[in-house]
Structure 1
């Protein structure tokens, strides 16, 4: 299993241009830092270290979510299209292990990118901007903001796994997964007034907006952990269905 996951990491780094995505993200972060410094230099606005790091961690994970979906689409649907998945399945390795290595490997890769993003933005904020808060307080608040973003990342990558298995199409996987990512908040805005809306998984996906102190949406459940459990159950169900379909479907 470790070998399969390592293989997925290599394919993501070289074949799916993870290195290029890393460069693009670095450019975005440098640009964000430049804008923040320009704003502070030309206005009366004072940007604190925690403000820069928390806002960065609030905004930049969207790009990691988008690329995480692309990684999954390439790992599953893309390999179906190019026939390379056959090379894995003719080996004495179960289909379950093959699929787990694909979604788990890319989950870990996206999570690693997310962790590096949090670390870099936190350190940058502390080094460049002033603050009355201690380093520990800034790191703690930024990490908390990041953790509120994590369930959303996992959900969309799980959904992409299912769509990729069902459609075997990279384009359809990306498009279908992006639909709730871009329009889910709009739908949630219109249905939130109804009591039944809290039982729709769409109401729980944007965990940050629902439960963070800076969030803009009402809580679907009064208890944050109940909402997290509800979302986790759907993630588990989505991955289970993906595995069942992958086991039954002819890919050779």
Structure 2
């Protein structure tokens, strides 16, 4: 956020101009869901400005019809510069604005201790916001239904190799001080497998995402979790 905008808590975003790379992007859906359900700030309470972080924004992947939502598209300047100038009051984006990374005093995080807020949100909701999935063309799946389970198995094995790299006693592939302590603290909160794959371990999170998408009128109906995934994949174990 812009440090001079007078924003001290999420409720102060009401009536403000908030930048976002793309209104319908998943990270923004999660952020708006949190703002509404945890702080009572609805999407209609904010004036949204879409655009690129450091340059002109991309064309939206999906054209949304949202008559109740105020959205302005910035075609010339990046959101980082708009935030520095005070042309927008705050920003929701997957990447940290370059000026904030550089320590520019004109920018600051909304929450002083971001990890603490995220930990409390997880403890309260058991939701670990996730964004990405692997999609198979329907004609390919119908021709070779085994492909879903095989792809899933390959990704789970790759993830397990990554987890092993973080937890072995010898030097890890991640050169971060106190990495073993960070991993141990993460496991205490999320469990041994803190990146669970599969439908069932993530059902509550996916249900929340589907609900947020519907509430924000990005989907026209409330989509069920089981509608989204191949039948041969749904019963696959999350860890192999």
TM class by shorter chain equals under 0.3
Q: Could you say which structure has the higher helix fraction?
A: 1
Q: Could you say which structure has the higher strand fraction?
A: 2
